[in-house]
Structure 1
Amino acid sequence: MAKQNKSIKNKDVVNDGSKKSGGLKLFLYLFIIPFLFALVILLIVANIAEVNVFEKAKELTGNGSKETITEEVKTDRLEEKVVTLQAQIQEKEAQIDQLQLEIDNSAKSNETLLVEQQRLLDEIEKLQVAQTSSKREYAEIVSTFEKMSAKTAAPVITKMSDAEALRVLVSLKPETVAKIYEKMTPENAAKYTELMTEQ
């Protein structure tokens, strides 16, 4: 009887196992296999219609939208950089224009200064020629006074302006000046002597 009880229990266990596996088989045959078959048919139809099911799934789950948002953010950043760089380029171009204007003004100023310098050099040359001529003439005047007699030179010097007379007297030899002073009045001789000592 104990053997019989064991065999009955084993049958129950086998029946329970077959019941469990039968329910799983039934679920597999009725739901899973038709679902997989429908899914395969749906994928074939989507492939023929050239619809990318995986991208559509990403869009529905939100992964695709995140990528789109990040691409939009990248595009916006790139556009901002482009705008910033364009602003910098415009600023640099404005600086270049300003510097070019300063260079042009400087060139014009230099040109004006060069013209003025040339004019001054010409004027200096004329003055040097005049001075050389004046020195030559003055040397001739001094030479003439040297050749004149003291009696004739004294009245001429007293008639000249003090500056001219002083210039002539300074250029003459001391012996000639002494002879001219002898022919002058004491007041005039004293005046010219005082002028010569002040110089």
Structure 2
Amino acid sequence: MDKAVEQKEEKKYNRFQWFLMAFLIPLIFAVAVALIVMTFSGVNVFEKSKEIAEKMPVVSGWVESKKEPSTEEIEKEMIDLEAEIKDREAELDQIETKMGNKDQEIERLQLEKGQLELQIDELTAIQEENKRAFKDIVRTYETMSAKKAAPIITKMSDAEALKILTNIKAETLAAIMENMSPEDAAKFTGLLTSESAGENE
């Protein structure tokens, strides 16, 4: 029984050895020699094998064929890319123009702001000067005798007279009113009353 099994196994080994020696090893050797010869003769073996594989029905599915683009396709792609570059350049130009305009606008607004600040400073200085001048006028009427001040104030416009009368001291105001005619005293008393009523509202 054991001998029969051994004989079967030997037959299997013998067939495999025969296959190796008679077919597989010579085939590998022949392929190696062919590859060396083709390489030395200047043939690109891998490209050639790829071409042959692409022509075979079943193997062509395994080989990934990379199609080279045609001249027309390359030119079209170049034109598209150039058009895209021009579009980007136009966009950049627009952005730069907008930025330039914004910078000019900022400069103009800063100049206007500077001019307005100068005008405010000038008006503030004039206002301060007017306040000082008015205080001096009020002080003059306060130091002047009521007999001389009363006729001058009655000759002024109601607005000017009222402005001075509302800013002088109470005792000076009383003295000036005493030296006015009853009509003028009544008129200015009414104006002073209206002024103080307006301030209280």
Q: TM over 0.5, yes or no? A: yes
TM-score (norm: length of structure 2): 0.57
Q: Is the aligned partner of 1:91 residue 2:87?
A: yes
Aligned-residue offset at 1:187: 2.8
- Report what 2:99 is aligned to: 103
- Give ranges in structure 2 of 5+ residues lacking alignment: 1-40, 196-201
Which of the pair has more CA radius of gyration? 1
Equivalent position SS for 1:72: coil
Equivalent residue number for residue 68 of structure 2: 71
Q: Give distance in 1, aligned partners of 2:91 and 2:191.
A: 66
Q: Gaps spanning 5+ residues in structure 1: where? A: 1-47
Q: 2:121 aligns with which of 122, 125, 145?
A: 125
Q: Percent identity?
A: 39
From 144, 168, 183, the equivalent of 1:148 is: 144
- The normalised TM-score by structure 1 is 0.58
What is the CA–CA distance in structure 1 between the aligned matches of 2:182 and 2:84, rounded to whole Å?
90
Give the root-mean-square deviation of aligned CA atoms.
Answer: 3.9
Offset of 1:157 from its aligned partner? 1.0
**Residue number in structure 1 paired with 2:36:** none
Which of 182, 185, 200 is 1:186 aligned to?
A: 182
Distance between the aligned counterparts of 2:152 and 2:141, measured in 1?
Answer: 10
Answer 1 or 2: which has greater helix percent: 1
Task: Provide closer, same or farther for how the CA distance between residues 56 and 71 of structure 1 changes in structure 2, counting only shifts above 3 A.
Answer: closer
CA distance in 1, matches of 2:51, 2:159: 114
Instruction: From the superposition, tell whether residues 143 and 83 of structure 1 become closer, same or farther in structure 2 (CA, over 3 Å).
Output: same
**What count of residue pairs does the alignment treat as equivalent?**
149
